Amino acid sequence: MNGLSCPVCCKNLDGYPAWCPHCSADLHEFWKSEDFVQELIVALDQPNASVAMQAASLLGQFGDQRAVEPLKRLLGKAGDAYLTRAVKVALHSLGAAVEPERGLG
């Protein structure tokens, strides 16, 4: 799995903690930074559904509109029911209309 690293101490992080477990840096602001939003968008394509789910839910919380299109793309190809749900919740949080699933497959 492609781990993230702490921007302060550069040690690997497990998931997206609010504080670095190694150096106690406050990462909450970092997760909301411009660069990190881009990283989360990239993480949506992770084959690991739980990583993609975390990324989707964080993007929904951050409310960054740049996430809308990548989330919609993911919705069209996500094979995991939990991931699909997380993406829909995120899109709803972003105020994006989720089209009904018809004519797919």
State whether residue 5 is helix, strand or coil: strand
Say how many Å lie between the first and final Cα of the chain, rounded.
29
- Interface residue with Zn ion, options 25, 68, 89, 98 (CB under 5 A): 25
- Interface residue with Zn ion, options 1, 3, 5, 8 (CB under 5 A): 8
**Count of residues engaged in binding Zn ion, rule: CB under 5 A:** 7
- Taking the complex as a whole, the smallest distance from the CB of residue 63 to Zn ion amounts, in Å, to 26
Neighbours of 48 (CB within 10 A): 12
Task: Determine, following the binding rule CB under 5 A, whether residue 26 of this chain makes contact with Zn ion.
Answer: no
Task: Determine, following the binding rule CB under 5 A, whether residue 22 of this chain makes contact with Zn ion.
Answer: yes
Query: Closer CB to Zn ion, residue 1 or residue 10?
Result: 10
Cα three-residue angle 74-35-17, rounded to 5 degrees: 80
Query: Would residue 67 be called left, alpha or beta, if left means φ above 0 and alpha means ψ between -120 and 50 degrees?
Result: alpha
Task: Determine, following the binding rule CB under 5 A, whether residue 23 of this chain makes contact with Zn ion.
Answer: yes
Give contact residues for Zn ion (rule: CB under 5 A).
Answer: 6, 8-9, 20, 22-23, 25
